[in-house]
Structure 1
Amino acid sequence: MTEPRWLTADEQHSWLHFIGVVELLPGALDTQLGSDAGVTHYEYLVMAVLSESPGRSLRMTDLATRTNATLPRLSRVVLGLEQRGYVERTSHPDDRRAKIAKLSDEGMSFLEETAPGHVAKVRELIVDALTPEEFSTLGRLSQKLLGRIDPEDRFGVHRIPAEPSTADAEPLARLGIGAPATRALAEAGQTMLGDVAGASREHLLSLHGVGPRAVGLLETALDARGLAPLQR
Structure 2
Amino acid sequence: MRALPLILGALLALATPAESNFRSSSPMMGDGVARTGPAGPAGPQGEPGEKGEKGDGGAIGAAGSQGPKGNVGPAGATGPAGPTGPAGAPGSTGPAGLVGPAGAAGIQGSRGEAGPAGPAGEKGATGAQGLQGIQGPVGATGPKSSTFVCNATIAETVVLAISAGTRITPAVTCAGVLTTDVLVAYPTSIASLTSALGTSNGIAIHHAIPTAANTFRAVINAPALALGASYSIPVAVYAVNR
Q: Do these two structures clear the TM 0.5 threshold for a shared fold by scoring above it?
A: no
TM-score per shorter chain, which class?
Answer: under 0.3
Higher relative contact order by CA 8 Å / sep ≥ 6: 1 or 2?
Answer: 2
Greater Rg by CA: 2
Which one has the bigger helix percentage? 1
Q: TM-score, normalised by structure 1?
A: 0.16
Which one has the bigger strand percentage? 2
